[in-house]
Structure formats: C-alpha cells, structure tokens
C-alpha cells in the first residue's frame, strides 16, 4: 500500500468513481455551472461552515487551520478525529483545510485531486499542493495585515508549526494557539472513544520484555550528551512497542490512545485507565512505586501533569519533533528541551530483533496463501461475470481470517478494476464497486494484521488479452521492482538515494508514478511504520529493517498498475567489502505472467525472477501441504514455472549493468 492513509468508511462518506452499468453521471463536481453540479458522493457543508465561522469570531481569528491528523500526529486516525473530513467531505488522509469568513480551501497532493473533486461540494476550493508553505503563502495573500490564524496545538507537530511560522515571519500575520478545537464544538454527534480492551502480546511473539525495553531506553538517555531527565513518547506506536501492548482505537491499526513519560526512576503511562484489566495492571506492576512500576494516569490529565513535571528544577525532556504535538512543546522552554527528529524508541523499533524478524516472515507465508486463494477464485469467477471489486475485497479478507493469529485487515482493501485502478488509493464502496471483466486490468492492494506481523502486498492481473501498452507498462514496473530489490548498497545508505532505481525503467520511456516507492512495516503495528522507507525524512538502512517496494504506473481513466512486495534488509558478502546490504523479498505471491514481456528483461532480471519463484515454491509448498491445500499448491506450482530464454540482448544487459554501477558509485559518494 502506498504512502498515504485510507478513506474513512466509518464516516459513511461515499467515495470515488464509476458505476459499472448504464450511462454514468459525471463523477466530479462542476462549480462553473449554474446551478453547480454536485455529485451524490459530495457532502453538503454549508451549515457546518456557518457554525464554524461563528465560533471563530470570539477568538478574533481570521482563519482556522484544520489538519487531517490527531493529537498523536497519526497517519491513520479514528473516526472521531476525522475533523478535516467532517468539515470538507474529503476523506483522504493527506490534506489540510483552511476556513476564513469568506472562503474555504483544501490543500492535498496529486494522489487525491480527483477524489477531492468527487467528495467536496462547491463551498470548497481545491489547491493542488500539500505543503504547509503553500498554505501559509495563501494566507498571506488572502488575509490583511495583523490577522491571527487559529490552530489546535494538539494537531500541529513542532516541525509543522515551524514551517508555518517561518513562512509567515515578517508578514504581519501570525499563528494563534486555540486550546479548544472549534470543529469538535460543531460536530455534535462526534463518535465516542472506543470501549474495547487493551491487550498484551503473547509471550511467544516477544523476545524483549517491556522491562528490558525500558532499561534500553534509560541507557540511551543516560549516555545522550544533552543529558535528558525524561523521554516523552507521543506517537501511539511508541507506547505500544515499549510495553508490548496493543489496542483497537483506530480502524486497522492496533493502537490505543496514550502518552508515556519515562524518567530514570519513574514510568508514567497516560491512557483511558478504565480499559485496563486487572491482569494488565499486574503485568505493568501498576500497584507499586519503583523504577519498574508503571504509574497509570488518566489520558485527559496528560498536559496538566506534564507541565507539573517540566516545572520541576533541572528537568529536561527529550522529544521527537516528528510526532510530538505543539501543545506539549508549548509547555517546554529551551532549558527544558532536548530534540531529535525521531525518539530513540522509534529508532529502536525500526530494527527488528531476531524473534520479530522470524515471526514477520512467518506471517507473510500464511498471508500469501490468502492472496493466492483470491487470485485462484478470480480466475474462475471473473470470466463467468460473478465477481465485483467489492466481493473480491471481502473474499481476500475472509480468506485471511482463516489463517492462524489473524486479527483482520491492515487497511481497507484496494480492489480496483479498469479506470478505478488509475486512482492509486481507491477502494470500493457499494456505490462505486464495478463488475470485474476479462477485458480490464485488476489491481488488488491488501494486507492483514496478525499477532506476529503486519502484511501489505499488491498484485496486478489481467484475465483476457492485455494491450501492448499495458504489457510494457507492467513489465517496466516489474523491472523497477526487481532492480531495487536486488541492489547491493553500503550499510547506512538512505532510501531516498536509491528509490530512483525503481523508476528508471519507467523514466526511460517517459512514464512515472506519483506516490512514494516504499514504507516500513512491523510486527502487528500500523501498515505504514516510520521512520523506515524511501522518503527524504527516513533513517539510513541497517540490517533487520522491513519495508515495501512498490513502483507503479497509472493511466488516467484507463488502468493502474502496482507491484508491491515486502523486503528485509540483510547483510551480503561482496568481493571486497563486508559492510553491505541487499533486500530479501518476503512476500510470496507470483506475478501475472500474462503481463510480462520477457523481451524487455535482462538476463540478470530473468535470473532474479526465476530465483524468486523457486523461493516461493520452497517456502510455500510445506505450508500448503500442512494445510491440505492441494489445489492452491497446484496453482502456485503452475504460476512459478521458470521463465525460458535469455531476455534482452547481452549488449543491452551490459549497458544496463554499467549504468547501475555508475548510479551506485554516485550513491556511495552522497552517503
């Protein structure tokens, strides 16, 4: 799944394109008509905008910024935190809304432009940009001098606030922290906090106890040159990882609302304490007062208690600026603050221990079987006209549920055919689900949550006769996947310095894709796990990291292609150097041979492909046998037969390898 959030189905905001039958009405709004054309998928926001503008007046603010995140700066948020969606109708997670007394504007990136046109009414304008600098420049142009711009400090990170402030500097316009969220006041039927329980992970999935992890973090704090007295954990996965606990507060993400404040001799855990069972209280040693006893505090008391700690003489708090909200930062001064982009917990979590590595591989073995069962079914049912995008999505989720330790999907399944697949983040609803046919390409991006790991895989198939353009595009996407997957690189290389290898085969013919090339994954966490991946703010690679590689290509209103595998960074022995890594693919589902033009592949790429297919056979065969799945095994064996021939000419292969070598030399110089 690409580096973006899922749409919030629980808001019941209909999404996206294309009925499968009849003469379809326009799916995007047209605000130039009189009266404007508003599709049925758009939300009427007139009344809520009126109410919000009235609430802005007592605060003397000329504009109000509404981010698409929560107090923990999460990518995926609970329905109760979907304030941007409530106000705009736009349900993509990447965006920022701004309301003034006369205008309402949404900023989002290219992945979501079409979706926004389908979900917003004409009260809202669309700015085709996603940067905070763009928002700030618009505010400067729109608002008179001395204007105040309101924001909820819990929904701004320190970095986001700095970005706005630096752009607004010297403009005579400034930010104003508004302690109560104005959207929440308008949102009278805002969903309640989930009441489900918080759990601890079974011991068989844990190598390090929470006490050991606390000890590791205290050691990091002890030897940090800035000598912090406390470490604040704000991101939800930080606390979940530290205590080996999980929850269900956010759809598809096993987290619970929480903060942790860790000192040399104290542990404060802020959460909804009524959800903690007596068993968990014993597990956390919550009834004592020692250095390994967890003091359970009310979630709502966090900011008050944090300010009390910070006010103590000599206190100095370490925060990660990427995931600490501005409300917490406002409580600190330069004398009480230690910063890094990511907390030491996120850095430690990025590298899996031996147990985490093995169980994550195990989860992908079981997960591959569910995906194979889906592809088998579709081969049979699609030619008969019995399958839709929705039924396919439900089926793969159902097959995953039959595998051991499954806890549901890891995100809303992207099940997209034909033009819907050209929308990188489409997922079907009852209103938009199309019938699958042999005449169109089909893209399925899906994943599962298991107690031992989180999975994410994308396959693109065609059941009829693909066009030459489709085959070439698919093959070039596959070439990019292979080239990045098989690359050897020095330990400490950054993903951003390598990700062009996934695009090169597309670039050679003037094609590209508009999303990231890959993101981290973890052990029963969010499907996008920071700070690992191929973006500019990801950390350097070291052994034991897991991430996706997912190049794609999308032809608007026609078809979409994405090939996504999860890979692990593993040491590799080279002729002269030892401190080098490569990627080991742990996803185990073959690619659609019908879409592969082997004449475009180099001998090295064909060799890699055949080796990968043999790996699928070696690993999946015993598991399929143990589950008694003979038909699935037969399908797997048929679809992993070796590719014959040598692919492209030796000259072309040699040229490609020389180019790759030059790129790697440049990357080493950069790193």
Q: Is the pLDDT score of 245 beyond 90?
A: yes
User: What φ, ψ does residue 252 adopt, rounded to 5°?
Assistant: 70, -5
Q: Is the pLDDT score of 190 beyond 80?
A: yes
Specify the DSSP class assigned to residue 91. Answer: -
Q: Is the pLDDT score of 100 beyond 50?
A: yes
Pairing of strands 230-233, 199-200: unpaired
What is the number of alpha carbons within 13 Å of residue 94 lying toward its C-beta?
19
pLDDT at 2: 65
Q: Is the pLDDT score of 5 beyond 60?
A: no
pLDDT > 90: percent of the chain: 86
E strand or H helix at 107 = strand 104-107
Q: Environment class of residue 190 by beta-carbon count within 10 Å: exposed (0-12), middle (13-18) or buried (19+)?
A: middle
Rounded Cα distance between 460 and 187, Å, is: 40
Rounded Cα distance between 91 and 111, Å, is: 12
- pTM recorded for the entire structure: 0.90
Specify the DSSP class assigned to residue 31. Answer: T
- pLDDT confidence tier of residue 431, bands split at 50, 70 and 90: confident
Coil, helix or strand for 411? coil
pLDDT at 374: 98
pLDDT at 23: 47
Which residue in this structure is represented by tokens 């692919």? 647
Q: Environment class of residue 584 by beta-carbon count within 10 Å: exposed (0-12), middle (13-18) or buried (19+)?
A: middle
pLDDT at 92: 87
Give the mean pLDDT of 505-533. Answer: 96
Q: Environment class of residue 273 by beta-carbon count within 10 Å: exposed (0-12), middle (13-18) or buried (19+)?
A: middle
Rounded Cα distance between 419 and 92, Å, is: 19
Q: Report CA 308 to chain centroid distance, whole Å.
A: 35
User: Cβ atoms within 10 A of the Cβ of 413, count?
Assistant: 25
pLDDT at 26: 81
Q: Is the pLDDT score of 659 beyond 70?
A: no
Q: Is the pLDDT score of 21 beyond 60?
A: no
Contacts for 582-585 with beta carbons within 8 Å, 24 or more apart? 582/486, 582/487, 582/488, 582/489, 583/484, 583/485, 583/486, 583/487, 583/549, 585/485, 585/612, 585/615
Between residues 590 and 556, which one has the greater pLDDT? 590
Pairing of strands 337-340, 317-320: parallel
241 neighbors 161 (Cβ within 8 angstroms):
no
Give the mean pLDDT of 13-35. Answer: 64
Which residue in this structure is represented by tokens 């508004």? 178
pLDDT at 7: 35
Between residues 20 and 278, which one has the greater pLDDT? 278
pLDDT at 93: 75
CA distances to 25, 44, 88, 126, 521 from 34, rounded to whole Å, are 17, 17, 21, 19, 48
Give the mean pLDDT of 389-409. Answer: 98
pLDDT at 53: 98
pLDDT at 115: 86
- pLDDT confidence tier of residue 671, bands split at 50, 70 and 90: very low
According to DSSP, the residues that pair with 533 across neighbouring strands are 519
- pLDDT confidence tier of residue 24, bands split at 50, 70 and 90: low
Omega of the bond prior to 457 within 30 degrees of 0, cis?
no
Nearest residue to 389 (alpha-carbon basis) of 378, 405, 400, 402: 378
Give per-residue pLDDT as tens, 55-68: 999 999 999 999 99
E strand or H helix at 230 = strand 230-233
Mean of pLDDT over the chain: 92
Question: Which residue intervals of 292-426 are DSSP H helices?
Answer: 302-310, 326-330, 344-350, 354-381, 389-401
**Phi/psi zone of residue 146: left (φ > 0), alpha (ψ -120 to 50 degrees), beta?**
left
DSSP per-residue letters across 509-540: TT---SS-S-EE--SSS-SSEEEEESSTTSPP
Specify the DSSP class assigned to residue 593. Answer: G
Give the mean pLDDT of 67-95. Answer: 95
């Amino acid at each position: 799944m690409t580096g973006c959030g899922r749409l919030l189905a629980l808001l019941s905001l209909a999404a996206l394109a294309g009925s499968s039958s009849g003469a379809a009405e326009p799916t995007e709004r047209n605000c130039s008509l009189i009266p404007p054309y508003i599709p049925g998928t758009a939300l009427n926001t007139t009344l809520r905008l009126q109410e919000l503008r009235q609430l802005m007046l007592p605060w003397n603010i000329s504009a109000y910024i509404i981010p698409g995140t929560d107090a923990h700066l999460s990518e995926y948020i609970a329905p109760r935190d979907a304030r941007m969606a409530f106000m705009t109708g736009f349900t993509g997670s990447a965006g920022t809304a701004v309301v003034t007394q006369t205008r309402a504007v949404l900023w989002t990136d290219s992945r979501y432009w079409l979706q926004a046109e389908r979900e917003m009414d004409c009260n809202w304008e669309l700015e085709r940009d996603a940067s905070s600098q763009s928002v700030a420049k618009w505010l400067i142009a729109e608002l008179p001098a001395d204007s105040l711009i309101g924001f909820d400090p819990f929904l701004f990170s320190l970095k986001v606030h700095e970005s706005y402030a630096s752009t607004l500097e010297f403009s005579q316009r400034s930010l104003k922290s508004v302690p109560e969220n104005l959207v929440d006041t308008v949102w009278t039927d805002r969903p309640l906090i989930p009441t489900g329980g918080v759990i601890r992970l079974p011991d068989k999935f844990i190598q390090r106890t929470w006490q050991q992890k606390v000890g590791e973090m205290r050691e990091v704090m002890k030897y940090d040159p800035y000598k912090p007295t406390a470490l604040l954990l704000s991101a939800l996965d930080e606390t979940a990882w530290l205590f080996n606990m999980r929850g269900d507060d956010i759809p598809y993400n096993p987290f619970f609302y929480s903060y942790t404040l860790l000192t040399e001799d104290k542990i404060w855990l802020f959460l909804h304490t009524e959800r903690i069972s007596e068993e968990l209280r014993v597990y956390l040693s919550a009834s004592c007062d020692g250095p390994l006893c967890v003091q359970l505090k009310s979630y709502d008391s966090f900011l008050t208690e944090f300010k009390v700690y910070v006010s103590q003489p000599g206190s100095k708090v370490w925060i990660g600026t990427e995931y600490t909200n501005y409300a917490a930062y406002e409580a600190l001064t330069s004398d009480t603050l230690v910063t890094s982009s990511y907390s030491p917990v996120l850095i430690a979590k990025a590298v899996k221990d031996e147990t985490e590595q093995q169980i994550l591989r195990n989860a992908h073995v079981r997960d591959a079987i569910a995906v194979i069962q889906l592809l088998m079914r579709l081969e049979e049912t699609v030619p008969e006209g019995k399958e839709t995008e929705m039924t396919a999505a439900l089926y793969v989720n159902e097959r995953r549920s039959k595998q051991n330790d499954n806890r549901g999907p890891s995100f809303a399944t992207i099940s997209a055919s034909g033009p819907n697949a050209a929308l990188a983040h489409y997922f079907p609803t009852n209103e938009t689900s199309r019938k699958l046919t042999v005449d169109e390409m089909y893209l399925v991006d899906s994943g599962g949550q298991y107690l031992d790991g989180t999975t994410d895989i994308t396959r693109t198939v065609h059941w009829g006769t693909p066009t030459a353009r489709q085959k070439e595009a698919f093959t070039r996407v596959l070439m990019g996947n292979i080239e990045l997957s098989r690359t050897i690189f020095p330990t400490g290389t950054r993903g951003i310095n390598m990700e062009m290898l996934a695009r090169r085969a597309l670039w050679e013919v003037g094609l590209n894709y508009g999303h990231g090339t890959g993101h981290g994954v973890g052990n029963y966490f969010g499907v996008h796990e920071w700070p690992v991946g191929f973006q500019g703010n990801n950390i350097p690679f070291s052994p034991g990291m897991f991430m996706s590689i997912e190049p794609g290509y999308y032809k608007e209103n026609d078809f979409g292609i994405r090939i996504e595998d999860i890979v692990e960074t593993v040491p590799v022995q080279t002729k002269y150097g030892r401190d080098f890594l490569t990627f080991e693919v742990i996803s185990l589902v073959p690619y659609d041979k019908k879409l592969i033009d082997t004449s475009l592949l180099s001998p090295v790429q064909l060799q890699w492909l055949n080796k990968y297919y043999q790996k699928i056979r070696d690993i999946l065969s015993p598991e399929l046998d143990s589950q008694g799945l003979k038909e699935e095994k037969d399908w797997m064996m048929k679809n992993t037969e070796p590719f014959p021939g040598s692919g492209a000419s030796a000259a072309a292969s040699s040229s490609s390898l020389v180019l790759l070598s030059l790129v790697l030399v440049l990357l080493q110089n950069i790193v």
